[in-house]
Amino acid sequence: MSRSCEERNSTLHVGVLALQGAFREHRTMLERCGAEVTEIRRPLDPADTTTAGLMALDGIVIPGGESTVIGKLMKEWGLFDALITCGKVGMPIYGSCAGLILLCRDIEGPEGERLDQPHLGLLDARARRNAFGRQLDSFETKLEVKGIGPDIEAVFIRAPLIAEVAPAMEVLAFVAAGPKEYPVAVRQGRVLATSFHPELTEDRRFHEAFLELCREWREEKAGSVEGCLHFS
């Protein structure tokens, strides 16, 4: 990665949700890309977890882990509504694996059974948890990801897939599961989600693309203070 790229990212301030799961790996990756990272966790200082506190960030990452646990802790620790507001006003949010599940509008189990668990509903899509079956519990592959590049290293760990997407969603990559191909990387506005874990690889391209969205959002915020204050 060129030095200028890291310098360009050095002014960006990204929050990584650090309630449970693989948040350190996202932190390391974003820092390697040059961004400043704050771990969002239990409100030690309540002012930092209000919507206003989160809105000061340029983007938020929701890591992999156990989506039921992360969702429950988001609620318990008062982050849930603030995260929804951030996504709705246009702040970039990137969810990997459990993060993808938490961003979707609906969630189902491996057999298509509807699951009722806390989730943010910022992506017009239905996530199917643990969708690749026991034999494929974990696997790695290389994917062509639209807008990001070819040969993206993709690590899947008890991964979800996207069983259904609304037309507003842009599908960035597919993977075959059984006889069909399913979306495993999607984008809707500045909300980005992957079934896989780019943070567990040496490939920075996904995080770089996310930081581009963060830069775009920061410029938009700077140009329109009103836009930040009048969200609903």
| Cβ 65 to ligand GLN shortest distance, Å | 5
Q: Scanning the structure block, which residue is given the tokens 């989506």? A: 67
Convert residues 22-61 into a mask of x (bound to ligand GLN by CB under 6 A) and - (unbound): ----------------------------------------
Residue 97 designated active-site? yes
Verify binding: residue 157, ligand GLN, rule CB under 6 A.
yes
What beta strand segments (E) does the chain contain? 13-17, 36-40, 59-62, 93-96, 104-108, 123-128, 138-145, 149-157, 161-165, 170-177, 180-188, 191-194
Q: Smallest gap, in angstroms, from Cβ of residue 157 to ligand GLN?
A: 4
Confirm or reject binding of residue 103 to ligand GLN (CB under 6 A).
no
Residues in region 117-156 near ligand GLN by CB under 6 A: 129-130
Give, as ranges, the residues between 65 and 94 that touch ligand GLN (CB under 6 A): 65-67
Q: For the chain, what's the residue count?
A: 232
Q: Is 20 in the site for ligand GLN (CB under 6 A)?
A: no
Q: What's the rounded Cα separation, in Å, for the pair 69 and 86?
A: 21
Instruction: Tell me: does residue 98 bind ligand GLN (CB under 6 A).
Output: yes
In degrees, to the nearest 5, what angle opens at C-alpha 98 toward C-alphas 158 and 59?
Answer: 145
Q: Looking at 29, 91, 101, 120, which residue binds ligand GLN (CB under 6 A)? A: 101
User: Which CB sits closer to ligand GLN, 12 or 104?
Assistant: 104
Contact residue for ligand GLN among 60, 73, 93, 97 (CB under 6 A): 97
Which C-beta is closer to ligand GLN: that of 15 or that of 21? 21
Q: Which is nearer to ligand GLN, 49 or 195 (CB)?
A: 195
Q: Which of 66, 69, 191, 217 is nearest to 122 (CA)?
A: 191
Say if residues 226 and 220 touch (Cβ distance below 8 Å). Answer: no
Strand (E) or helix (H) holding 207: helix 205-223
The strand pairing partners of 145, in sequence order, are: 149
Count the neighbouring beta carbons within 10 Å of the beta carbon of residue 198.
Answer: 27
The residues of the shown chain that bind ligand GLN, judged by CB under 6 A, are: 64-67, 97-98, 101, 129-130, 157-158
Residues classed as catalytic: 97, 197, 199
